[in-house]
Structure 1
């Protein structure tokens, strides 16, 4: 069944209106008719709704019932990603959304080849927010991840607080597994409801200054296997492991 995220200001009691791109999708792509059912989400809740009237520029729906769904990770994950080249950021946001990421912060790091000016940043953020919304609908989530504006490392820690900070470092992957920081150890220390910050560097990795800054803040470097992962692979490895640990293995944390 098709799902749509409808802003709270388009709800009134048990009635809601759908406009813009979602209107186009319902009417022109899916060719839905009055009387058909869809699922609409807002503020973390999902509802089974019936299309009651299709107008020229909006679709009016009636709420039939509230759905009891639970597709969100039992922990909160912020992914802070060093700006990569090309369209890799689109891929990362799409897949990280499917895997349960709650917040996303693009990072301008020392070795980021890509530089965003203000005009380019706003266009990029608009695209990423659209990708996150579509990925949330596809994966049947009840919330759309928040896409923050571009941060520096200092801004990231000045503007937000976290229970755990993990750094995916290629230097750790090269170390002897018996002596390198353990992802297993780190994940076992997380309690349900806590907030994890996962920091991933760009293609060139982190500078010495950035590693020193993160160490000063007691951020923990974690080993994501013995191989050197691409910048777009590392966050998906970590999120997949967190999903398996907290949702499928059902460990008590």
Structure 2
């Protein structure tokens, strides 16, 4: 069943209005007609099975028939902070990361970033990345679209680390070293410390996974990230491409959260 995301204000009681590119896609590509069924999500708190009342390339009107459980979102809110990669690799990270279960993406500049970031093109780039996330969320039957944050400087990224319950800094030296801490061990140790703490346990922790660009992170950046509160972790003894590392780390985190278990 085709899934569409709309703004909350496009829900008016049981009547839903779909406009823009989604209406064109539904009418022209999917050839929607009255009595066809679709799933519509507001990206916040509501997902419904609806029946199409009217269909045109300009507007689809549908009526909600059944409220659906929003049970496809992970309990852990995981952000992939990605050092800006070359070419269209960021698009791959966003597309596949959305399918797997990332909650948001933060692109950032760092010492070994190769691409020349053009701030004048940022709005257009964010718009494209957001569209990729939306389409991937629809394909993966998610109830929320991951957010795409503006490109951050390295200093801004260091400040953001403190806003998360757990920050993991993917560093190849940790993976290569015999004494290095793997991501699974780091997370399990963090979970044990949370359970032992007398403070109230966070049920829906916010976690950020920092991934370097093609050249990885410098030693200086590793020191600064650790000082800011991040835990240095490895992803195994093999060297992963930048567009692979975040996806592997995300999958490891979701496994540790229990999100990869069967229904």
Shorter-chain TM-score: what band?
over 0.9
* Compared CA separation, residues 237 and 56, structure 1 to 2 (3 A): closer
Q: What displacement does 1:45 show?
A: 2.4
Instruction: Give aligned pairs, total.
Output: 248
* Compared CA separation, residues 223 and 158, structure 1 to 2 (3 A): closer
Moved over 6 A (4+): none
Q: Deviations over 1:97-120 (max 9, x none)?
A: 011100110011111111222222
Q: Deviations over 1:151-174 (max 9, x none)?
A: 123213435710001011111122
Tell me if the contact between 1:80 and 1:106 (Cα under 8 Å) persists in the aligned partners: yes
5+ residue gaps in structure 2? 192-201
Q: What displacement does 1:208 show?
A: 2.7
Tell me if the contact between 1:172 and 1:180 (Cα under 8 Å) persists in the aligned partners: yes
2:228 to 217, 220, 226: 217
Q: What displacement does 1:32 show?
A: 1.1
* Alignment partner, residue 106 of structure 2: 105
Is residue 226 of structure 1 aligned with residue 237 of structure 2?
Answer: yes
Q: Deviations over 1:170-228 (max 9, x none)?
A: 1112211xx11132222222464111110000001112321121021131111211101
* Alignment partner, residue 119 of structure 2: 118
Say what the alpha-carbon RMSD is for the aligned residues: 1.6
* Alignment partner, residue 128 of structure 1: 129
Distance in 2 separating the partners of 1:49 and 1:233: 37
* Compared CA separation, residues 82 and 54, structure 1 to 2 (3 A): same
* Alignment partner, residue 248 of structure 1: 260
Tell me if the contact between 1:108 and 1:115 (Cα under 8 Å) persists in the aligned partners: no
Q: What displacement does 1:249 show?
A: 4.6
Distance in 2 separating the partners of 1:211 and 1:126: 31
TM-score, L = length of structure 2 = 0.90
* Compared CA separation, residues 9 and 157, structure 1 to 2 (3 A): farther
TM-score, L = length of structure 1 = 0.93
Q: Deviations over 1:222-252 (max 9, x none)?
A: 12111011101101111112222322358xx
Q: What displacement does 1:136 show?
A: 0.2
Distance in 2 separating the partners of 1:249 and 1:24: 37
| Structure 2 counterparts to residues 1-253 of structure 1, below 5 A | 1-42=1-42, 43-55=44-56, 57-158=58-159, 161-176=163-178, 179-188=179-188, 189-190=190-191, 192-245=203-256, 246-249=258-261
Distance in 1 separating the partners of 2:57 and 2:133: 27
Tell me if the contact between 1:75 and 1:194 (Cα under 8 Å) persists in the aligned partners: yes
